[in-house]
Amino acid sequence: MSILVDRNTRVVVHGITGREGEFHTRQMLAYGTKVVAGVTPGKGGTRVEGVPVFETAAQARKATGANASIIFVPAAFAADSALEAIEAGMNPVVVITEGIPVQDMLAVVAAARRRGTRLIGPNCPGLISPGEALVGILPGAIFRPGPVGLVSRSGTLTYEVVHELSRAGLGQSTCVGVGGDPIIGSRFVDILHLFEQDPATRAVVLIGEIGGTDEEEAAAFIRDHGTKPVVSFISGRTAPPGKRMGHAGAIISGKMGTAQSKVEALRDAGVPVADSIQEIVGLVAERLSSPARARS
Amino acid sequence: MRLTEAQSKAIFRDGGLPVPDGRVASSPDEVRQIAGELGGRVAVKVQIPIGGRGKAGGIRIAATPDDAARAASELIGARIRGYEVRQVLVERAAAVQREYYLSVTVDRSRQAAVAIFSTAGGMDIEEVAEKTPHLVAKEWADPLLGLRDFQVRRLFEEGGAPAEARKELARFARILYELFRRHDAQLVEINPLAQLEDGTLVALDGKVEIDDNALFRHPDLAAMREVEGDHPLERAAREQHLAYVKLDGNVGIIGNGAGLVMATLDMVQREGGRPANFLDIGGGARADVVERALRIVLSDPDVKSVLINVFGGITRGDEVARGMLQALGQLERRSVPIVVRLAGTRAEEGRALLVQAGRGIETAPTFQQAARRVVELAAGA
């Protein structure tokens, strides 16, 4: 079992003829993902890695039965592609592109919500359900099937943590990179909700960072509705206020968004916050071996 | 990108919002002349992209042109909160009766633009919201429908605006939202929005923040960046599309992905070191990007050792190694030790390239070990 995608998911790659689109189409196919179509306006009728390319998402859907989208389109055009995917009925829609203007994303997120589309990203590594499907740019080889769900604002930290989890024999149900932008389609709370409903997920790792209040909102959700153990890690604990640390969303402004506030909110909700990535593995293992003790 | 007050007010004026008469000057003589033309009392205000200038001593009221010139001679060339003052705005001082707060910004939690109004103008809105939340009214614009008139009416009704000012305030709010949209802003703020003794409203101060990611469709705004007093290395990095922040330590840090770089800073600090910078090469960086990143970090004289921490997904380890070798090949002598930790996509190929090159670059298997080693090297250098 998994959340969001599985072996039956049929993926269309928007921007499949670009450098990244092509490279990661190859990677996803190698992982076993059913990449059934690509979309690049002006390149319809061609093929990439044997995958047929269409002019529009609607055509791709009609011809191939594609039901999920992944978007590698450059930032200036990515919001338009996401809206096209939403309108064509794709679900989920995963936006890898970074650098999309915030106001474009406000419209895309609103459109997705109206249509009931699960939007992941933008500026995210996508998601993987190990052994089932990879819809993203994550390095498939480090993941193992298992009971740990993972949700993160950072792609590379996801890889770090998964690398350690897998080495310790702790496989993953689904790993979702929600993205590092201030406006993203799915937030921690949305993904935690899905993990709650997924019988295959027995523990969750939540990787947050400075900026915004998504971690605090996740803590409130866990406190009020959580039944599964959650372990957390927050990056940017030493980041200075007022400086944007790479991610558009990672900035401490005024009293908002400090690592300390997030760590406290999570600990108050009964979520242990690891001081290092290595520590996460021990905390997860502990909770998996005695889940009853984790929440009383 | 944060615009200065003068730049923000130019945008207001073009949009049809009244601002005080005034001009920008970069010398005391210019200031004297402008003050003389304006007549009466003037405000002399430093033009740097930060808030709280008044508290930092960056705003002076002058009674005569000579007073204004004297204030300018003290302000121009001074450093305020790390920014060098190159320009001041000279404005006719207004006879203010009341001060309001009005802004449009992005609400991350609600995922919508929000218009904010308060009768407690002139103060830090975060403080007002914390201490007296009933004095802050908000209306969220539907991203697909915009900020509607009924919402604007409700904003000033709930916010307790005086009846006689509401019509003009509504005009301000509609223009502000329009400017927010048209310029891809993240914040458009008037604080204080002053009601003068004759009852007219004027934007006494203005703050506009533009979404960096949208600058590609606003070349006119992108050109305004020049006056920002960034650190020269930050500016050089931005020109090369690298996310770089100068910090005050001595360990240079390069990585891929903001989360990993932040975690690397945290780890270096845990190991007793002090990061000299944050540099994220981003996703899918090719060799030339890595080369430029390493050159920027090595050109910082504070840097005593460098940690390159890459976990490849979309980024490939061989490209990282190639970029490093390109950068080092072009530097006359390399006296700064480098520790590399590569994992993920094509990491083995990358490590092999570094070993083959035989340039004494150290590799470390985990990022904790890499952090420990780079801190040792910084201390020993």
**Is A14 among the residues known to form the active site?**
no
Q: Is A20 annotated as a binding residue?
A: yes
Report pTM.
0.91
**DSSP designation for B145:** T
**DSSP designation for B142:** B
Would the pLDDT of A293 be above 50? Answer: no
Contacts of A250 in chain B (CB under 8 A): 258-259, 262
Contacts of A188 in chain B (CB under 8 A): none
pLDDT at residue A162 in the model: 96
Neighbours of B86 (CB within 10 A): 15
Between the two ends of chain A, the Cα-to-Cα distance in Å is 26
Are B267 and B369 in a shared domain?
yes
Structure tokens at B339: 């520790």
- Is the CB of A182 less than 8 angstroms away from the CB of B108? yes
**Burial of residue B33, with CB atoms counted within 10 A of its CB: 0-12 exposed, 13-18 middle, 19 or more buried:** middle
* Mean pLDDT lowest among A168-172, A237-241, B217-221: A237-241
Residue B8 lies in a domain: no
Contacts of B212 in chain A (CB under 8 A): 248
Higher pLDDT, A296 or B132: B132
Residue B149 lies in a domain: yes
Nearest CB partner across the interface for A182, out of B106, B311, B343: B106
Residue B258 lies in a domain: yes
Average pLDDT over residues B280-307: 89
Q: A235-254: per-residue pLDDT in tens?
A: 999 888 888 888 878 887 77
Q: A140-166: per-residue pLDDT in tens?
A: 999 999 999 999 999 889 999 999 999
Whole-number Å distance between alpha carbons of B355 and B363: 9
Q: What percent of chain A has pLDDT over 70?
A: 98
State which of B165, B192, B221 marks the end of a domain. B221
Q: Give the mean pLDDT of chain B.
A: 91
pLDDT at residue B226 in the model: 56
Q: B129-188: per-residue pLDDT in tens?
A: 888 889 999 999 999 999 999 999 999 999 999 999 999 999 999 999 999 999 999 999
Task: Supply angle C-alpha B211, A207, A224, rounded to 5.
Answer: 100
DSSP H/E element including A222: helix A214-225
Residue B6 lies in a domain: no
Are B100 and B87 in a shared domain?
no
pLDDT at residue B230 in the model: 62
Q: A13-28: per-residue pLDDT in tens?
A: 999 999 999 999 999 9
Quick one: how far is CA B367 from the chain centroid?
Answer: 30
- Is the CB of B144 less than 8 angstroms away from the CB of A137? no
Distance between A100 CA and the closest CA of chain B, angstroms: 6
**Is B291 among the residues known to form the active site?**
no
Predicted confidence band of residue A294 (pLDDT cuts 50, 70, 90) = very low
Are B255 and B311 in a shared domain?
yes
Contacts of A100 in chain B (CB under 8 A): 213
Contact status of A6 with chain B (Cβ, < 8 Å)? no
The count of domains in chain B is 3
pLDDT at residue B331 in the model: 67
Backbone conformation region of residue B361, classed left if phi is above 0, alpha if psi is from -120 to 50, else beta: beta
Quick one: how far is CA B247 from the chain centroid?
Answer: 15
Would the pLDDT of B241 be above 90? Answer: no
- Is the CB of B260 less than 8 angstroms away from the CB of A111? no
Q: Identify residue A45 by its one-letter amino acid code.
A: G
Nearest Cα to Cα of residue A87 among A36, A39, A44: A39
Are B332 and B192 in a shared domain?
no
Average pLDDT over residues B208-237: 82
Residue B11 lies in a domain: no
- Is the CB of A114 less than 8 angstroms away from the CB of B144? yes
Residue partners of B167: CB distance under 8 A and separation at least 6: none
Are B174 and B306 in a shared domain?
no
Would the pLDDT of A212 be above 90? Answer: yes
pLDDT at residue B228 in the model: 53
3-class state of residue B342 by DSSP: strand
Would the pLDDT of A136 be above 70? Answer: yes
**Burial of residue A179, with CB atoms counted within 10 A of its CB: 0-12 exposed, 13-18 middle, 19 or more buried:** buried
Contact B1, B209 (CB under 8 A): yes
Contact status of A87 with chain B (Cβ, < 8 Å)? no
Q: Is A17 annotated as a binding residue?
A: yes
Higher pLDDT, B232 or A105: A105
Q: B205-214: per-residue pLDDT in tens?
A: 999 999 999 9
**DSSP designation for A6:** -
Distance between B24 CA and the closest CA of chain A, angstroms: 27
- Is the CB of A245 less than 8 angstroms away from the CB of B258? yes
Residue B293 sits in a domain whose CATH number is 3.40.50.261
- Is the CB of A246 less than 8 angstroms away from the CB of B257? yes
Residue partners of B366: CB distance under 8 A and separation at least 6: A278, B341
pLDDT at residue A296 in the model: 40
- Is the CB of B255 less than 8 angstroms away from the CB of A183? no
- Is the CB of A75 less than 8 angstroms away from the CB of B262? no
Would the pLDDT of B227 be above 80? Answer: no
pLDDT at residue B354 in the model: 87
Nearest CB partner across the interface for B311, out of A76, A110, A159: A159
Give all strands of the β-sheet with A47-48 in edge-to-edge order.
Answer: A47-48, A51-54, A34-39, A10-14, A68-71, A93-95, A119-120
Q: A69-101: per-residue pLDDT in tens?
A: 999 999 999 999 999 999 999 999 999 999 999
Distance between B38 CA and the closest CA of chain A, angstroms: 36
Are B159 and B125 in a shared domain?
yes
Domain interval for residue B56: 21-92
3-class state of residue A213 by DSSP: coil
Are B294 and B254 in a shared domain?
yes
Contact status of A281 with chain B (Cβ, < 8 Å)? no
Average pLDDT over residues B192-201: 94
Contact status of A139 with chain B (Cβ, < 8 Å)? yes
Nearest CB partner across the interface for A238, out of B108, B266, B280: B266
Would the pLDDT of B126 be above 70? Answer: yes
Average pLDDT over residues B314-336: 80
Residue partners of A127: CB distance under 8 A and separation at least 6: A4, A5, A94, A120, A135, A136, A138, A174, A175, A176, A177
pLDDT at residue B5 in the model: 94
Task: Please state, in angstroms and as integers, the Cα–Cα distance from residue A170 to each residue in A143, A145, A231, A285, B116, following that order.
Answer: 10, 8, 14, 8, 47
State which of B186, B221, B256 marks the end of a domain. B221
State which of B67, B92, B117 marks the end of a domain. B92
Distance between B214 CA and the closest CA of chain A, angstroms: 5
Average pLDDT over residues B340-354: 89
Task: Supply angle C-alpha B61, B66, B69, rounded to 5.
Answer: 70
pLDDT at residue B232 in the model: 77
- Is the CB of A159 less than 8 angstroms away from the CB of B245? no
Q: B56-96: per-residue pLDDT in tens?
A: 889 999 999 999 999 999 999 998 877 889 999 999 998 99
Would the pLDDT of A105 be above 80? Answer: yes
Nearest CB partner across the interface for A157, out of B130, B263, B312: B263
Residue B313 lies in a domain: yes
Average pLDDT over residues B321-336: 78
Q: What percent of chain B has pLDDT over 70?
A: 97
Residues making up chain B, counted from first to last:
381
Beta strand segments in B281-364, E: 305-312, 338-344, 362-363
Q: A172-190: per-residue pLDDT in tens?
A: 999 999 999 999 999 999 9
Distance between B263 CA and the closest CA of chain A, angstroms: 5
Contact status of A246 with chain B (Cβ, < 8 Å)? yes
pLDDT at residue A218 in the model: 98
Q: Which residue has the tokens 């305020």?
A: B80
Are B87 and B100 in a shared domain?
no
Distance between B108 CA and the closest CA of chain A, angstroms: 6
Average pLDDT over residues B293-310: 93
Contacts of B266 in chain A (CB under 8 A): 235-238
Contacts of A107 in chain B (CB under 8 A): 143-144
pLDDT at residue B381 in the model: 56
Structure tokens at B99: 């001060």
Residue B194 lies in a domain: yes
Q: Which of B212, B244, B261 to mutate to test the interface with A (most CBs of A within 10 A)?
A: B261
- Is the CB of B278 less than 8 angstroms away from the CB of A246? yes
Per DSSP, the residues of B218-236 read -HHHHGGGGG----HHHHH
Are B46 and B71 in a shared domain?
yes
Whole-number Å distance between alpha carbons of B320 and B340: 10
Are B58 and B120 in a shared domain?
no
Q: Is A56 annotated as a binding residue?
A: no
Are B203 and B248 in a shared domain?
no
- Is the CB of B263 less than 8 angstroms away from the CB of A235? yes
Q: Identify residue A48 by its one-letter amino acid code.
A: V
Query: Hey, CA dihedral for A97, A99, A102, A103, is it positive or negative?
Result: negative
Are B324 and B216 in a shared domain?
no
Whole-number Å distance between alpha carbons of A188 and A116: 17
Nearest CB partner across the interface for B259, out of A153, A240, A275: A153
Catalytic residue among B30, B83, B100, B101: B101
Tell me the pairing of strands A133-136 and A126-129: antiparallel
Residue B46 sits in a domain whose CATH number is 3.30.1490.20
Please count the helices (runs of H) and the strands (runs of E) in chain B. 13, 18
Predicted confidence band of residue B240 (pLDDT cuts 50, 70, 90) = confident
Q: Is A98 annotated as a binding residue?
A: yes
pLDDT at residue B333 in the model: 54
Residue B144 sits in a domain whose CATH number is 3.30.470.20
Residue B292 lies in a domain: yes
